[in-house]
Chains A and B, each alone.
Chain A
Amino acid sequence: MLTLLAKLFQALNSESSSRQIALAVALGFFFGLAPLASLHNVVILFFALFIRVHLSSFILAATFFSGLSYIFSFFLVGLGESLLGAQALQGLWTGLYQFDWFKLAHLHHTYTLGAFVFGLLMLVPMYFLSLTLVEKYRVSLMATLERYRIVKALKASRFYRIYTSLAGQGV
């Protein structure tokens, strides 16, 4: 975990594209929301590996949002319940239900559908939010943090040794 964190900070501080990090966080968010063994997570994993995104950020974001998803599962289940139970959408769900891929993806499960729809809706906002945060960090926060004693103390730690050993390796 320390290595992953170091990689994240290394990416934030390096010349890695802000967009790569932001997209990794957004995909990690999408991945983390749904139950681990869902079909759309396999597709997200494929995209995370296939497209050049910052993998360490993806893994960290997926881990973080998995925890959040567990805590807020009642919200995702409720969203899925209301969508699958909505009278106006019965025709849509019944139509989709005839396809095995729909059932295989467990999109008729309240938790999975709630996570999928919420993840899909928040994917773009999450991307731009992450992008803004990364850029703000690089422009203002990074230089400010460098001056704090705690950061200097951190630089003497094991974490920083890992961080420096990774420097220049890229992702």
Chain B
Amino acid sequence: MNRIIRWQGIASFIVIITTLSVLIYLFAEVIAKKAMEHGLEAYTGAEVNIDEVNINYSPFVVDVYRIQVTDAGQPEQNAVEIAHVNAGVDIWQYLLGKVLVEELRAEQVQFATQRSSAGQVFREPEQSITDRLKQQAQDALGTEISLPDPEELLASSNLKTVKAATALEESYETEKEKLSQLKSQLPSKEKLDDYKKQVEALTKVKVKSVNDITKLKKDFDAIKKQFEADKAIVMQTKEQLNQTKNIMSKRVNDLKIAPSQDWAQIESTYQLDKIDSADFAHLLFGEKAREYHDMALMAYQYAKPLLAPSPEQQAEINHAAKGRFVHFDEENPQPDLLIKKAHFSVMTPQGDFEIDLSEVTHQHWLRNVPTRFTVNTNNLLSDGIANLAGELSLAANNDFETQGNWEVNKIPLPETALAGSKELTVTLLSGLLAGNGQFKVTNEDLDSVNAFTLSQAKYEGSADSSLASAVLDTINGLDTLDLGVDAKGLLASPSFSIKSPMNQILQQSLMTQVNSKLAGFKSDVQAGLNDKLSGALDLGNAAQTDILDFENLLNATDGTLSSLINNDVVKQQEENLKNKAKDKLKDKLGDLFGG
């Protein structure tokens, strides 16, 4: 037995295990500090410093003092600095492969604090989050409301009126040329008179015999061929004339409707139609609403992969972690990561925020309790009060839902550019904001209803037009401004509806001041269009007169030729010959019978 068993091995085992336990106990804080720094550095790509880690074993509580995470984009400052983090961890669950934090508190969370020395950067950042948010905001800025110069507008060769007038002119020239060519081929008046004389001469020929009739018929057929050839030219010309009439008629009609089409296009391009029913609240505040939405969306897009990583992201995490825990069904299932309570005390230049969370996990379906969050501050931008409360949950099939409500009061608004175009710039110099609202996001769908009241507002701006001046004067005269901002639809591109009594006030005030200006613009443009129209129509009328004259000439020529072709000179002469023959026969019979 002793050849196989080494009894003193048990003692060695106990000594080794005890020694290891003592070493772990003694160096746990140093190991934990290094592990946290190393882990955070791997995640952020920049130097992380932790002043001290204290571990209390009963209950198991970890205290971490002064965590500084270097901003990889600006190494001389910290992206975030936390004075103290306290976490009560369930050590048994941790040994079983789960992270269960009873309570997590982070005090004095600050952003962009100055470091005593520049931190090391291990991985160059693509772009810092704050820079990206600023870029996003800048991109979202700027609306153009401008009335064009009527003269420039009318000089545009893209106007349908101009195009239609040019088309009419070109068609007129082309058709005129065609008709002129055919006109030169038509028999002249002299020629027609000559034809008539020839026929008349045939009428006066004295026929004495059938041979004379045959000769006369031959002569008439010879000149009739000429009549028919000329008649064919007349018919061809008539056909061409009909085509010309159709083309010119279409050109004139196009020209007549072109000004109204141009005006519709101008109204649509310069949104003049909307000035009549102007959504001024949307013009002034729409971009701001979009801007804030984009910021919120970006924050959501950063947070979403942490809540529900895609299979590819999960695979990447697994690879980085060198394996993963796989959990199976159990009687009392616990999430892989659960923070029952968390409190963050965040200090920013805009104010101090108290953030409380409960049931923080990415597996809400296991305990069937959503993550609840509240954010409160009472010194937002000095005296402002803001409260946000809501909850979010993730289902096993990755369905995501969050909803909540918010309210703000007495928020002093900083100087904010509301509109910035060539004609109108409006800057909100100061004001107090109050408001409340609800939001609900289900997967990719957003439904949010919000109401704001802006009071003690002062505006500054410049206006190049009476429209812009009216906007400025009106909003400066408002004591309070109520706004209803609803956002519904796809989270990435919701449709905004901004309602405000300001619209009616502004419309009433504006329309009197704006109407003359707008009407002036309308009349200038329409007069210009009408000038173009009438000029071109004069040409059209001249063309019509020419066509009419030509048509009369054609008809007259046609009539003369038809009359000549249908002339019965041969028949008349035949009748004459017959009559002469009858008379001669009567005379002979009278002589014969003594009559």
Binding site for B on A (CB under 8 A): 42, 45-46, 48-52, 73-74, 76-77, 80-81, 84-85, 90, 93-94, 97-98, 100, 103-104, 106, 108-112, 114
The residues of A that contact B6 with a CB separation of less than 8 Å are: 49-52
Known: A42-B17, A77-B323, A110-B318. A90 touches B3 (CB 8 A): no
Apart from A51-B4, A51-B9: 13 A-B pairs, beta carbons within 8 A: A48-B9, A49-B9, A51-B6, A52-B4, A76-B323, A81-B318, A93-B328, A94-B329, A97-B328, A103-B97, A110-B318, A110-B326, A111-B323
B315-357 residues at the A interface, CB under 8 angstroms? 318-319, 322-331
The residues of A that contact B5 with a CB separation of less than 8 Å are: 50-52
The residues of B that contact A85 with a CB separation of less than 8 Å are: 326
Please tell me if the beta carbons of A100 and B96 are within 8 angstroms of each other in the complex: yes
Measured between alpha carbons, how far is A14 from B299 in the docked complex, in Å?
A: 69
Closest 10 pairs (CB-CB, A-B): A111-B323, A49-B9, A103-B96, A97-B328, A110-B323, A84-B326, A50-B9, A94-B328, A77-B323, A49-B13
Measured between alpha carbons, how far is A106 from B16 in the docked complex, in Å?
A: 22
Measured between alpha carbons, how far is A56 from B250 in the docked complex, in Å?
A: 107
Chain B positions 1 through 39: 1 when the CB is less than 8 Å from some CB of chain A, otherwise 0:
001111001101100110000000000000000000000
Out of B9, B318, B328, which one reaches A108, CB within 8 Å? B328
Please tell me if the beta carbons of A109 and B325 are within 8 angstroms of each other in the complex: yes
Q: At the interface, yes or no: B519 with Cβ under 8 Å from chain A?
A: no
Please tell me if the beta carbons of A108 and B13 are within 8 angstroms of each other in the complex: no
Q: At the interface, yes or no: B592 with Cβ under 8 Å from chain A?
A: no
The residues of A that contact B95 with a CB separation of less than 8 Å are: 104
10 A-B pairs (CB sep. < 8 Å): A42-B17, A49-B9, A50-B5, A52-B6, A73-B322, A77-B319, A93-B328, A94-B329, A104-B95, A110-B323
Measured between alpha carbons, how far is A100 from B331 in the docked complex, in Å?
A: 12
Measured between alpha carbons, how far is A3 from B9 in the docked complex, in Å?
A: 21
Out of A94, A104, A109, which one reaches B324, CB within 8 Å? A109
Measured between alpha carbons, how far is A6 from B328 in the docked complex, in Å?
A: 48
Measured between alpha carbons, how far is A111 from B322 in the docked complex, in Å?
A: 7
Measured between alpha carbons, how far is A53 from B418 in the docked complex, in Å?
A: 82
The residues of B that contact A114 with a CB separation of less than 8 Å are: 323
Measured between alpha carbons, how far is A144 from B327 in the docked complex, in Å?
A: 55
Measured between alpha carbons, how far is A77 from B95 in the docked complex, in Å?
A: 20
The residues of A that contact B328 with a CB separation of less than 8 Å are: 90, 93-94, 97, 108
The residues of B that contact A76 with a CB separation of less than 8 Å are: 323
Measured between alpha carbons, how far is A159 from B323 in the docked complex, in Å?
A: 40
Known: A51-B9, A93-B328. A45 touches B322 (CB 8 A): no
A171 to nearest B CB, angstroms? Answer: 10
Please tell me if the beta carbons of A80 and B323 are within 8 angstroms of each other in the complex: yes
Residue of B with least CB distance to A42: B17
Please tell me if the beta carbons of B325 and A45 are within 8 angstroms of each other in the complex: no
Known: A52-B3, A100-B96. A108 touches B10 (CB 8 A): no
Please tell me if the beta carbons of B10 and A49 are within 8 angstroms of each other in the complex: yes
The residues of B that contact A97 with a CB separation of less than 8 Å are: 327-330
Out of A45, A90, A110, which one reaches B16, CB within 8 Å? A45
The residues of A that contact B97 with a CB separation of less than 8 Å are: 103, 106, 108-109
Please tell me if the beta carbons of B12 and A49 are within 8 angstroms of each other in the complex: yes
B382 to nearest A CB, angstroms? Answer: 52
